[in-house]
A and B are shown apart, each in its own frame.
Chain A
Amino acid sequence: MTARTLYEKIWDNHVVVAETPDTPAVLYIDLHLIHEVTTPQAFSVLRDRGLKVRRPDRTLATMDHSTPTTPVRKLADIDIVGPAAAGQIRKMQANCAEFGIELYDFDSPYRGIVHIIGPELGATQPGKTIVCGDSHTSTHGAFGALAFGIGTTEVGHVLATQCLLQRKARTMAVSVDGQLAPGVTAKDIILATIGKIGVDGGTGHVIEYRGDTIGALSMDERMTVCNMSIEAGARAGLVAPDDTTFEYVAGRPMAPTGDAWERALSTWQSLPTDPDAQFDREVSIDATALSPQVTFGTNPGMVIDVDGEIPTRDGDAAFHKALDYMGLTSGRPIAGTPIDVVFVGSCTNARLSDIERAAALLRRHRVADGVRMLVVPGSEQVKADAEARGLDDVIRSAGAEWREPGCSMCLGMNGDSVPRGKLAVSTSNRNFEGRQGAGARTILASPETAAASAVAGVVADPRPLLAGA
């Protein structure tokens, strides 16, 4: 047998009908995650054609994008997000009931951002194919699962057939080696990677993150890395499953147990890329050279060291348009720029460890006057775990807001948004124009950098504060 990459092994294991020059492969999907924004039109197609959901048991449904981050104790509480968003939530409830899909609804202890609850529940497992009508499905690749975002038409395909028509992607290895300096995080690895390969550097590829730095990351951190693969244009990111992965999955509600666990484990252990396997492209990153990263423009590839200067690019109209939008100037340090909002949340950085790291900086410091800081846990579980550790008190006492789980200010669909012209430091994944609200300006950063900036009231290097914390 020829040497194969992790991607190729998972692909081969899921081919229902092989691809030919004329036709794409029919690929089986083990797990379909669905949420309220990208499914209503797909359910309508099923209804119009008299189709059922083929595998409700392989469909995991929740609501996260347009949900309020204020408490929902009774159904009418969702109306705070406005009639359209509330209507979408009600539609999701009705669709799941009609098609027999279990919904992790407001009364569930597991509701949350779809990419946070899949892993938490143990539904995300190595070797699986996982899709969702959401581009950050790449997050689940941290487990060595082939996970990618699809459109609503394809959501309909998976609901009806549990399969997708797919062409095989090219493969790219991103090798990260060396020890990270204190204050440098998984978020900084992925921002630096996108800065290096560009926002289209991964187009047509599936990235496998490898190297000793990646191997030393926790699952939370690997998820942060894989999450932003799409920001480099790659549909999926992967990390080979190892003991860190298996320990995370073991004992979770949907994880296999007993003999089934042993069988799963031996399959999972066979998944990592063979030593002689070839990637179509290879990139390496020296982790020892990394500093905390911040974006300065309007896509995630416009990124610099937090203690660096905003670059100069004479004659590049797009570059200057981005700087104008951001209200920033070439040649100036980015640190020290006054900020208005700090957002700690999103499927990139709203797991327990992210909240803990942000809260650690808030224990002895307060959010600066004039800065609004919003901390939004990624799921009910994260919220409960954080509250059990008293982090909600730490966050509130420091002058920040502690909210109910959801996507929130990451995309501003539910009313949590950054006002026009205001500058936010956010732990989310997109700094596109208007992403966090019409006219909003976004700087992407790690939870540490976000919290340090909240305390300073300006874009701030977290390292001095961390050293003193």
Chain B
Amino acid sequence: MSRPITRVSSATFVLPQTDIDTDQIIPARFLTTTERSGLGRHAFADWRYDDHGELIADAPLNSAAAKTAKILVAGNNFGCGSSREHAPWALLDFGFDAVISSEIADIFRSNALKNGLVAVVVDTDTHRELLANPGLELTVDLVDRALKFADGRKVAFPIDDFARYCLMEGIDQLGYLLKQGEAISRFEAAHE
């Protein structure tokens, strides 16, 4: 990761389904790739393509609104299931830079934040409002740790300090870990 992110602004796109698992976000048959690029066309493949591999014209994810939105609002417990990092890769490549839900599965959220997909958990009231109003103009603001509505309203969201710092500075966590080399060597020497 390198691109620093401070805020994501766009109209929202809503997938109200609860428990959207990573097999929906990208089915296993597309995991044979050895690259991380170009997965957007497989995002939600079984929701967007028919049995013959043709785009389903009236599938919501194939709409203009889905193509232009950078913020995905999803039902509770988004990203459950497999640890495949292909899921955030596919969402980012599809065009989403942020995902909001009332609950986001642990591994998915960790993967998302490491790739610059801003994964945000909001309270259930705010979540309900977002679900009920697709296309709402919204800003996910990391600086203020808040969602900002067009009418000036702000709703704070919690985010891990370190994850936020890394997103905002474009910090690469591997670089951070490599700097701990001495401490790691000391630990190994004491425990072998």
A residues in contact with B21, CB < 8 Å: 299, 430, 432
Instruction: Find chain B residues with CB under 8 A from A93 CB.
Output: none
Interface assignment of A150: CB less than 8 Å from any CB of chain B:
yes
**Interface pair B177/A432, CB less than 8 Å apart:** no
Give chain A nearest CB distance to B65 CB in angstroms: 20
**Is there an interface contact between B180 and A160, defined as CB atoms closer than 8 Å?**
no
Contact in complex: A16, B184 (CB < 8 Å) = yes
B10 nearest CB across to chain A (Å): 25
Contact indicator B177/A160 (Cβ below 8 Å)? yes
Among A152, A235, A438, the most chain B Cβ lie within 10 Å of the Cβ of: A152
List residues of chain B with CB within 8 A of the CB of A91.
Answer: 34
Given A40-B34, A41-B36, A165-B176, A16:B187 Cβ within 8 A = yes
Of residues 175 through 192 on chain B, the ones whose CB sits less than 8 Å from some CB of chain A are 176-178, 180-181, 183-184, 187-188, 191
Q: Which residues of B contact A133 (CB under 8 A)?
A: 83, 85
The answer for the CA separation of A87 and B17 in the assembled complex, in Å, is 35
Cβ proximity bits B37-63 to A, threshold 8 Å, 1 near / 0 not: 000000000100001000000000000
Chain B positions within 8 Å of A45 at CB level: 174
In the complex, chain B residues whose CB is within 8 Å of the CB of A65: 31
The listed residue (B29, B107, B160) touching A151 by CB distance below 8 A is B107
- A40 / chain B contacts, CB cutoff of 8 Å: 34-35
A162–B177 alpha-carbon span in the complex (Å):
10
A358 within 8 A of B: no
The yes or no answer to A439 lying at the interface (CB within 8 A) is yes
Interface status of A163 (Cβ within 8 A of chain B): yes
Assess whether B111 is interfacial by the CB under 8 Å rule.
yes
A212 shortest CB reach to chain B, Å: 30
Residue contact B29 to A413, C-beta cutoff 8 Å: yes
A66 touches B46 (CB 8 A): no
Give CA–CA (A161, B177) in the complex, Å.
7
Residues of B within 8 A of A9 (CB): none
Is A28 on the interface with B (CB-CB < 8 A)?
yes
**Could you tell me which residues of chain B, from 51 to 109, have a CB within 8 Å of some CB in chain A?**
51, 75-77, 80-85, 103, 105-107
Contact mask A8-24 → B, CB, 8 Å, 1/0? 00000000110001111
Interchain nearest-CB distance for B86 vs A (Å): 8
> Which of A111-119, A198-206, A340-348 lies at the interface with chain B?
A198-206
> Cβ of B19 and Cβ of A299 under 8 Å apart?
yes
Q: Is the CB of A26 within 8 A of B34?
A: no
What sequence of 0s and 1s flags, for each residue 405-437 of chain A, a beta carbon within 8 Å of any chain B beta carbon?
000000111000000100000000010111100
Give bound CA distance, A367 to B177, whole Å: 54
Which of chain B's residues has its CB closest to A415's CB?
B29
- Distance in Å from the Cβ of B103 to the closest Cβ of chain A? 6
The answer to the question of B28 belonging to the interface, with a C-beta cut-off of 8 Å to chain A, is yes
- Are A165's CB and B107's CB within 8 A? no
B162 partner residues in chain A, CB cutoff 8 A: 22-24, 165
State the CA gap A63–B29 with chains docked (Å): 16
> For the complex, is A149 an interface residue (Cβ under 8 Å from B)?
yes
Cα A22 to Cα B110 in complex, Å, equals 16
Distance to closest chain A CB from B29 (angstroms): 6
Q: In the complex, are the beta carbons of B180 and A163 less than 8 A apart?
A: yes
- Asked whether any CB of chain B lies closer than 8 Å to the CB of A85, the reply is yes
**B-facing mask of A267-306, CB < 8 A → 1, else 0?**
0000000000000000000000000000000010000000
CA distance in complex: A84, B35 (Å)? 11
Q: How far is the CA of A449 from the CA of B111 in the complex (A)?
A: 36
Give the CA-CA distance A203 to B17 in the complex, in Å.
18
> Distance (Å) between the CB of A323 and the closest chain B CB?
14
Chain B residues whose CB sits within 8 angstroms of the CB of A54 once the complex forms: 184
Could you say which of B32, B36, B178 contacts A160, with CB atoms under 8 Å apart? B178
Instruction: Determine if A134 is an interface residue (Cβ-Cβ < 8 Å).
Output: yes
Residues A124-182 near B (CB distance < 8 A): 133-135, 149-154, 156-157, 160-165, 167
Whether the Cβ atoms of B103 and A82 lie closer than 8 Å is no
Check A203 against B85 for contact (C-beta < 8 Å): no
- Within the complex, the shortest CB–CB distance from B183 to chain A, in Å, comes to 5
CB-defined contacts of B191 to chain A, threshold 8 Å:
28
CB distance from A371 to the nearest CB of B (A): 24
Q: Which residues of B contact A88 (CB under 8 A)?
A: 32-34
Chain B residue with Cβ nearest A81: B32
- Identify 11 new A-B residue pairs, CB closer than 8 A, beyond the known A45-B174, A411-B23: A21-B161, A24-B160, A49-B174, A153-B174, A157-B173, A165-B162, A230-B81, A321-B17, A411-B28, A412-B29, A432-B23
User: Would you mind naming 25 contact pairs between A and B with Cβ atoms under 8 Å apart?
Assistant: A16-B183, A16-B187, A22-B161, A22-B162, A26-B177, A40-B35, A41-B35, A84-B32, A87-B32, A133-B85, A135-B83, A151-B84, A151-B111, A154-B110, A163-B184, A164-B177, A200-B19, A230-B107, A299-B19, A430-B21, A432-B21, A433-B23, A434-B24, A435-B23, A438-B46
A-B complex: 4 closest residue pairs judged by Cβ atoms: A84-B32, A40-B34, A151-B111, A151-B85
